[in-house]
Amino acid sequence: MKKLALWICLISPFLLQGHAGGHYATGDLLKIWHLQNGQTIEGNFAYGNSEGITVEQLHGTLQTILLANLQTADRKIAQLKVNRYKSIHGQAFTETLPKTSKPAFPGMHWIAFFLFATLALQVFSGDHQKKWRQAIGLACLFVGIIWACKTETAISPSNSSTTTTTPTKTSISFLDSAFAPYKKTISTNYDDTYYYVNSNGMPEHNMMVGITSWQQQVPIPQPYSGSNHWSIPLKPVYESTPLSTKTNFMKGAVALAVNGIPIFNALNNRGEDSFAIGELDQWGGHCGRADDYHYHAAPMHLSNTSGLKPIAFALDGYAVYGAKEPDGTAMKALDAYHGHELSNMAYHYHGTADYPYVIGSMRGKVSTDPATPAPENQILPQAFTNSVRPALTALKGATITNFETLSPTAYVLTYSLNAKKYTVKYSWVNSTYTFVFTDGDGKQSTETYTRK
Ligand SMILES: [Zn+2]
Ligand SMILES: [Zn+2]
């Protein structure tokens, strides 16, 4: 009889697994925890300490939330639950919150269970059925069952192996790892509020080829450094009524690619889809009125170098990923803002090959320049261009056919117009830029400008 009871105990974890969804099947009531950054986490209190709580989500997923990151009302509830938990279980058992990490491989918890179960059997089957043997045996079983029922997943988008926390503040190491592959051409620093990126606005990839609607501007370096650096908010906060990129942000950048190139609204200042009307090169970019290179479409090519890391950060602070989720799976469905908040990671956008390409609406709060009302309301802070020559106009019928780097400070752009070949060869020394134009008949003209 005793043996039968023992075996029922041993197989109980398998019965629990047979119930799809673990302890909380879909539709069961889960408490919604409100974070200070506006995000929410669904899950029921499992255990906790003076630092934070661990909640159990759908399918038994455990997620840790720091008390400091909770909104006041929810923090009070969490503290009440922690206090009650302490009075039941004693402080020693709960003082250290588990590090959130994925199990090494599925089934790891079952191996742990069997180890504990074997240990329990050994203890039970001893010659002397003493009370302390039974107690230890039951304790082993209890730990084994608990272990078998739970899995844990990481919370933050960071791939770092350190303890993960709730995404109230984007970790510097996460941002560093996203920008790291491009550190040859950019530099970064940070304070408590922003992550700053210094860049000269010139990408490592080729540019301009394929543009059929051209304003005659060519890429030259821009002074996006010092006090004119790019600023990515470290503590993104949800906007209650996110501003649509259809009717806002027609001026300035909405995001910064991890190679230091700004990403502008997918619509041009006439409300047209820049990509659809041939204004962009095959990398999704072109030059503005200050000869500033920038993207209007998602720079999906960056994921070749970035892998599963973000390809950009929106100026509201949320990351922009490529075609895959950070864990390598196919992109999950996007919301109306062109992003989503998955159960185990912070809100993020995805770049896609179709409109709106990067951002449908700015999910996070941003400040805008009061001097320019919507739709020209540009996000502040942001880095500004500095032109060296007067802006040019559209050259109807021209197609850019080639772009060549002659040296780190010299380029030649080739375009065809009326079946003839034209070139713009340009170079610079310090702030003085020389442009040599060769027309379809081989006639040359030179212009020189100095940036103030
Ligand atoms: Zn543009
Ligand atoms: Zn995603």
Q: What is the DSSP pairing of strand 348-350 with strand 319-321?
A: parallel
Cα–ligand 2 centroid distance for 9 (angstroms):
41
Ligand 1 (single-atom ion) residues, CB below 5 Å: 288
Cα–ligand 1 centroid distance for 215 (angstroms):
10
Question: pLDDT at position 3, please?
Answer: 53
Alpha-carbon distances, residue 3 vs 8, 9, 112 (angstroms): 9, 10, 22
- The whole-angstrom separation of Cα 237 and Cα 243 is 14
- pLDDT per position in the chain (452 positions), as tens? 455 444 444 444 433 333 332 233 333 466 787 777 666 777 777 767 777 776 666 555 556 677 777 777 788 778 777 676 566 554 333 333 433 333 334 455 555 555 555 655 665 565 555 666 666 656 655 555 555 444 333 333 333 333 333 447 999 999 999 999 999 999 999 999 999 999 999 999 999 999 999 999 999 999 999 999 999 999 999 999 999 999 999 999 999 999 999 999 999 878 899 999 999 999 999 999 999 999 999 999 999 999 999 999 999 999 999 999 999 999 999 999 999 999 888 999 999 999 999 999 999 999 999 999 999 999 999 999 999 999 999 999 999 999 999 999 999 999 999 999 999 999 999 999 999 999 999 999 999 999 99
Residues written for the chain? 452
Each domain of the chain, given as residue ranges in start order, spans: 172-380, 399-450
- The whole-angstrom separation of Cα 313 and Cα 175 is 9
Question: What is the CB-side half-sphere exposure of residue 58 using CA atoms within 13 A?
Answer: 12
Instruction: Report the candidate in 288, 277, 275, 291 with the shortest Cα–Cα distance to residue 354.
Output: 275
- The whole-angstrom separation of Cα 94 and Cα 79 is 13
Instruction: Report the candidate in 311, 316, 193, 320 with the shortest Cα–Cα distance to residue 243.
Output: 316
Question: pLDDT at position 91, please?
Answer: 37
Question: pLDDT at position 35, please?
Answer: 73
Task: Provide DSSP, 100-168.
Answer: P---SSTTHHHHHHHHHHHHHHHHHTSSS--HHHHHHHHHHHHHHHHHHH-EE---SS---SSPP--TT
Asked if omega into 373 is within 30° of 0 (cis), the reply is no
Question: pLDDT at position 316, please?
Answer: 98
Alpha-carbon distances, residue 220 vs 116, 198, 282, 387 (angstroms): 66, 16, 18, 9
Cα–ligand 2 centroid distance for 348 (angstroms):
6
Alpha-carbon distances, residue 296 vs 90, 99, 200, 240, 290 (angstroms): 57, 40, 18, 26, 16
Question: pLDDT at position 103, please?
Answer: 39
Ligand approaching nearest to the C-alpha of 347 = 2
- The whole-angstrom separation of Cα 420 and Cα 426 is 20
Ligand approaching nearest to the C-alpha of 352 = 2
Cα–ligand 1 centroid distance for 195 (angstroms):
24
Question: pLDDT at position 139, please?
Answer: 62
Cα–ligand 1 centroid distance for 341 (angstroms):
29
Cα–ligand 1 centroid distance for 269 (angstroms):
9
- The whole-angstrom separation of Cα 302 and Cα 285 is 13
Ligand approaching nearest to the C-alpha of 268 = 1
Cα–ligand 1 centroid distance for 332 (angstroms):
29
Question: pLDDT at position 81, please?
Answer: 75
